[in-house]
Amino acid sequence: MRKKFIYIFFNFLNFFLIVSFLFVILFLLIQILEDLTDFFLHRKSFILRNYFYTCPLLFVQISPIITILSSMLVLSEMLKNNEIKVFFLSGNNPFKIFSVFLICGLFSSIFTFTLKNFVSPPLIKKISNYIIQEYITFSSPKYFFYSDRLENKYFINVEFSEYFENEGFIVIKAKRARNYEDFNWIFENGTLWKFDSEKNLIKKEKFTTKNISIFLTYEILSISTIDIETFSYFQLSKILNKMKKLGIKPVSLITLTYEKIFYPLLNFFLIFIIFPFLKKSHKISNLYVFSFSFLFSFSCYFLYVFFFSLSKNGKIHPFFGNAGIPFVIIIYLIFQNIGLKKIKKSCNIFRKLKV
């Protein structure tokens, strides 16, 4: 079994690397060609390295089709060489060989998770740094924050209010502000007004610089304006924990956080679809392998987007919005297995009656 595991895994790895390289290059060229018209029409500078920065993210997006196509190619080769039949004739059941394919799917999920959460975010951040973010606003029962734009981690033309329970509130207007450490902020060139609980002005202070400690961070305020792909699952989880302290539970952000785990995990669950092919042990052509892989992968992708959209809009729980496809695949296989057993039983009964 160890030799069979090594044989299947390295065959999968071989197809996985080849298909990944070809598909990433293909989609990268398509992306460049699509953007060329904008570069020529609007005379934008063409920065080739930015496209290479997107390669890990591009791989993540197309990883489901790469995974299912690689596993189907391995299975097709084994069926053509009658290796599956030999394996079964030697007394082994389909689950043993299927477990090897599951390990291949797990490898693909772990590799994709690593790229999505550790490799891609810093690279995408290099591209996003060239973009000036505009119009940041945030409100909660305790805080209000507004800024015209965000430049190099500085909030420009800031309006800030903090409300104290039964003790009034403060208002600050400043030229710019920066969150320099944890919950510590520095406001520059502005005015502070302090009001009592009856909204009467009790203090007015002009300042050049003022340090204030508030339970808001740069990440919380900028999350809606910065590309979500610049954050990893762990960074988003920290931001969500800070928001919970403020009594905020953004459904859209929770869904996007779950997506950082469940989208890579989709590669593992897609492997389950090859189990019926193992049980039948019929040879399959390359045309069937490619057509089935493309159709099945794109169907799963569109279904995933459908569940994901429902979750982002608060129609279903974020967990089910991201875990919808694995449930569909498992339910399909269960019903298919039950259906096949019923058909076999009915055929056996019919034969007995005929005799």
Distance CA 153, CA 131 (A): 12
- Structure tokens, 258: 């779950």
Distance CA 250, CA 239 (A): 11
Among the three residues 214, 246, 265, which one is the final residue of a domain in this structure? 214
In a domain, 189, yes or no: yes
Question: Could you tell me where the DSSP H helices lie in 81-158?
Answer: 83-89, 94-114, 120-128
The residue segments making up the domain with residue 263 are: 2-129+255-354
In a domain, 12, yes or no: yes
Task: Identify the CATH number of the domain in which residue 151 sits.
Answer: 2.30.30
Task: Please name every residue paired with 157 in a beta bridge, in sequence order, or none if there are none.
Answer: none
Element (DSSP H or E) covering residue 238: helix 233-245
Among the three residues 164, 196, 214, which one is the final residue of a domain in this structure? 214
Q: Which long-range contacts (CB under 8 A, 24 or more apart) does 108-113 make?
A: 108/16, 108/63, 108/66, 108/67, 108/70, 108/267, 108/268, 109/264, 109/265, 109/266, 109/267, 109/268, 110/264, 112/59, 112/60, 112/63, 112/263, 112/264, 112/267, 113/260, 113/261, 113/264, 113/265
Instruction: Determine the distance from the C-alpha atom of residue 66 to the mean position of all C-alpha atoms in its chain, rounded to a whole number.
Output: 16
Residues 58 and 111 both lie in one domain: yes
145 touches 138 (CB < 8 A): yes
Distance CA 187, CA 173 (A): 9
In a domain, 135, yes or no: no
Task: Chunk the chain into consecutive blocks of 10 residues (it has 355) and report each block's average pLDDT, rounded to whole numbers.
Answer: 85 96 95 81 77 95 95 90 81 83 96 97 79 74 90 91 90 96 94 93 95 90 83 93 84 93 95 83 79 88 92 90 88 70 51 52
Distance CA 237, CA 250 (A): 12
Residues 147 and 124 both lie in one domain: no
Total domains in the fold of the chain: 2
Among the three residues 214, 247, 273, which one is the final residue of a domain in this structure? 214
Cβ atoms within 10 A of the Cβ of 194, count?
Answer: 16
Q: Which of 331, 308, 133, 119 is nearest to 229 (CA)?
A: 119
Strands 168-181 and 201-213 turn out to be unpaired
Instruction: Determine the distance from the C-alpha atom of residue 12 to the mean position of all C-alpha atoms in its chain, rounded to a whole number.
Output: 24
Residues 197 and 303 both lie in one domain: no
Residues 121 and 261 both lie in one domain: yes
In a domain, 236, yes or no: no
Q: Which long-range contacts (CB under 8 A, 24 or more apart) does 288-291 make?
A: 289/69, 289/72, 289/73, 289/76, 290/69
175 touches 161 (CB < 8 A): no
